[in-house]
A and B are shown apart, each in its own frame.
Chain A
């Protein structure tokens, strides 16, 4: 009744091609952005920022990054944790080497560094695919974490191999370090998430994204119609690693403030982000956000319900929480193997027909 194209007249191709062709969707999108930018920063406290929204936004960026590589370009990667570590250590080295440079610029540069590393580790993708490529990227994961543990230059020769984010500012506001306000942390991550999601959306529906998808769907056919697999695959690795690197840089500098490679960027992180992408929906920007929300917010929510509300012992709650999240993952994958994004799409299809379905 409310959710349909009828009466929403488009007079240009540009209007036809917009991301949200339905008026209600568009309003919803603007409303969410307005709330996220104008309302949330005023009411956010440090628990909501540090335990809920900042990790959600950072993981959403990482999931978009992996989604570009795996969901759009069809290259399976298990090296996400390693690439996040590259972003984190790059921003750490930059922060300590150039204390005067605004941190946001350094985070973007860290993303670029990660993109270069990603391209290097993407080279094998020209020869190998599928599971074999997954194993090759797994090697990247272990190699990178080993490297950051082994070479003291990366952690500035500190006694314990930990890296600590010193205070850095942007426009006079602390963005990293202990004095950072909750809203500054949140806004930094939000700006990155929104801008990067916008970039990703426009890349994936342009010619670059179409090349990626052609490679994903059938690489030989794509090559025959003139898609260069070298540039398509390597550009997917570069863009994906750029996103993942920014997520890693934010994770270390804004969110955690201290990190060590094997703990914060281990193989578990790679799996976590891969699960986000699979549960959220391969090849969907919305799915990346949904998957990140599912795997970041649900455990925190369950913990708060089970421990704070029901007063369960913490260990029992932690175990039950794992079981519930695991069961829900299985449930969602059985009911909708294409992820939460597909569920959302189906809901929207139904809404369009409501209240008069066929």
Chain B
């Protein structure tokens, strides 16, 4: 039996715990804080968790092997967003007070939300391969960076690849776009429409409502229309379902191309042998055949410091998360060099991003030769070169193989579109372009 005194003590304890809990503790200010707004739950969790692991592990590697960057340890406090914008806001507010240097939320919806917020709070937002495409225009989007490639680059590279396949002529071809019916999936439409005009193919747009388990009718339409190619902008469970449905209607997999977010192991493995030959874009290498992984094994995986035990090391999304961390780490290095101090703040990191130049030699030095395209940013270009390549799934070997070199997108189409969209934003938000 509890005495009254004990009970009050318990209550006091609980109350103080509650009070302490909401006043989340701040880490030591001397470290470099790179919050990891991840999602390991919900319909996108299978994809998000691998990306988050790669992101964490690269910084762990730098901390273990080099003692951080410029002698400063990098902390990656994680916050679960579940790909939900409201939780994303909560995570942003919870972490920004702790000296957060840069955000990488891996969600186009959350990115849209954060663009005005980070611009007001003066914290860089790095959205590699997702987010708002027109953020490439650094004149308008001072704090946003989306190198090495954005959705419009992806759409253009995919079409370029198809041009190559067809001897430079897509006249009269039919291309269907299967897309996640959200800001993310709608991004490429405008570019593809322009490209359709330029190259004379017809574009069919097939929206799929998120999360995307239900897409029978769209694939029925594809079976009826018989498009020559299907391009997909999917994420999470939508990818697996789409590839399964494509297999069900016996759509030739080699004519099915996904964006880089629709090209990971979790998307094709459930479909088994039928997924063989499925293609997707990518802007980073896959597999563990890079010198860096020897260090990763030695300093992170073997000592048991890997995020979630290192079960996904080398997978497509793990590699992409790691690549994002590589770019951020390089930007931090650059910022330290420019600022002349290792203890940089968010504004100095922004300058580091803007002066970032990751050459192929530098990538080799890091231990990732030919892992990503060259990234060179400037005041007006926050998006790098936009180069991407294609990978193809080998169902027997259960791995992705790179099938093209890095290809540059059709900037002739993209530049006016980016200018138009970013100027519309500048007008709406009352921003005067810089540079």
Expressed in whole angstroms, the Cα–Cα distance for A145 and B96 within the complex equals 32
Judge whether A177 and B116 touch: CB under 8 Å: yes
Chain A residue numbers with a CB within 8 Å of B132 are 160
Q: Does B378 contact A (CB under 8 A)?
A: no
Is A334 in the interface zone, CB < 8 Å from B? Answer: no
Taken residue by residue from 415 to 427, chain B's Cβ proximity to chain A (1 for < 8 Å, 0 otherwise) reads as 0010001001100
Interface flag for B209 (CB, 8 Å): yes
Could you tell me if B181 and A314 are in contact, using CB atoms closer than 8 angstroms?
no
List chain B residues, Cβ under 8 A from A263: 84-85, 109, 182-183, 210
Tell me, yes or no, whether A47 is within 8 Å of chain B by CB.
Answer: yes
A55-B86, A262-B209, A263-B210 known; A305-B40 Cβ under 8 A: no
Given known pairs A162-B112, A262-B210, the reply for A51 and B134 (CB within 8 Å) is no
The answer to whether A178 touches B80, judged by C-beta atoms less than 8 angstroms apart, is: no
Please give the number of chain A residues whose Cβ is less than 8 angstroms from any Cβ of chain B in the complex: 44
Q: What 1/0 flags go to B63-94 for Cβ under 8 Å of A?
A: 00000000000000011101011100110011
* Smallest CB gap from A251: residue in B: B86
Most buried by B among A50, A178, A313, A314: A314
Q: What is the number of contacts between chain A and chain B, taking CB atoms within 8 Å? A: 130
Inter-subunit contact A314/B17 (CB<8 Å)? no
Q: Select from chain A the residue with minimum beta-carbon distance to B308.
A: A313
The segment out of A106-114, A253-261, A335-343 that lies at the interface is A253-261
Q: Which chain A residues numbered 272 to 302 have a C-beta less than 8 Å away from chain B?
A: 300-301
How far does the alpha carbon of A51 sit from the alpha carbon of B90 in the complex, in Å? Answer: 5
Distance (Å) between the CB of B155 and the closest chain A CB? 12
Q: Which residue of A lies closest to B180 (CB)?
A: A262
Q: How far is the CA of A309 from the CA of B20 in the complex (A)?
A: 8
Let me know if A179 is at the binding interface, CB within 8 A: yes
B186 is an interface residue with CB less than 8 A from chain A: yes
Q: What total of chain B residues lie within 8 Å of the partner, measured CB to CB?
A: 56
User: Of B17, B40, B89, which one neighbours A256 at CB under 8 angstroms?
Assistant: B89
In this assembly, does B207 line the interface, its C-beta being within 8 Å of a C-beta of chain A?
yes
| Residue from the list A50, A158, A162, A304 in contact with B22, Cβ < 8 A | A304
Closest to B116 in A: A178
In the bound complex, do residue B85 and residue A256 qualify as a contact, i.e. CB atoms below 8 Å apart? yes
* Set B78, B117, B181, B424: member contacting A149, Cβ < 8 A: B181
Q: Tell me whether chain A's interface is mostly helix, strand or loop, or mixed.
A: helix
B28 at the interface (CB under 8 A from A): no
Known A-B contacts A258-B113, A262-B181; the reply to A318 vs B82 at CB < 8 A is yes
A315 close to B (CB within 8 Å) = yes
Flag A240-278 by CB within 8 Å of B: 1 or 0 each.
000000000000000111111011101000000000000
A96 in contact (CB, < 8 A): yes
Q: Which residues of A contact B93 (CB under 8 A)?
A: 46-47, 50-51
Partner of B133 from A149, A159, A317 at Cβ < 8 Å: A159
A314 to B45, CA, bound (A): 12
Q: Is the CB of A160 within 8 A of B41?
A: no
Q: Which of A164, A256, A308, A318 contacts B25 (CB 8 A)?
A: A308
Is A161 interfacial (CB 8 A cutoff)? yes
Q: Is A166 close to B, CB under 8 A?
A: yes
Q: What are 11 contact pairs spanning A and B, CB under 8 A? A: A51-B90, A55-B86, A158-B421, A159-B134, A159-B421, A160-B132, A179-B120, A256-B85, A263-B183, A303-B90, A322-B41
Residues in chain A within 8 A of chain B (CB atoms): 45-47, 50-51, 55, 96, 149, 158-162, 164, 166-167, 177-179, 255-260, 262-264, 266, 300-301, 303-305, 307-309, 313-315, 317-319, 322
B residues neighboring A (CB under 8 Å): 17-18, 20-22, 24-25, 38, 40-41, 45, 49, 78-80, 82, 84-86, 89-90, 93-94, 96-97, 108-109, 112-113, 115-117, 119-121, 132-134, 181-184, 186-187, 189-190, 207, 209-210, 417, 421, 424-425, 428-430
Besides the known contacts A167-B430, A308-B24, 15 further A-B residue pairs in the complex with CB atoms under 8 A apart: A47-B93, A55-B86, A96-B428, A159-B421, A160-B186, A161-B186, A178-B116, A260-B182, A301-B18, A303-B80, A304-B24, A307-B79, A314-B80, A318-B82, A322-B41
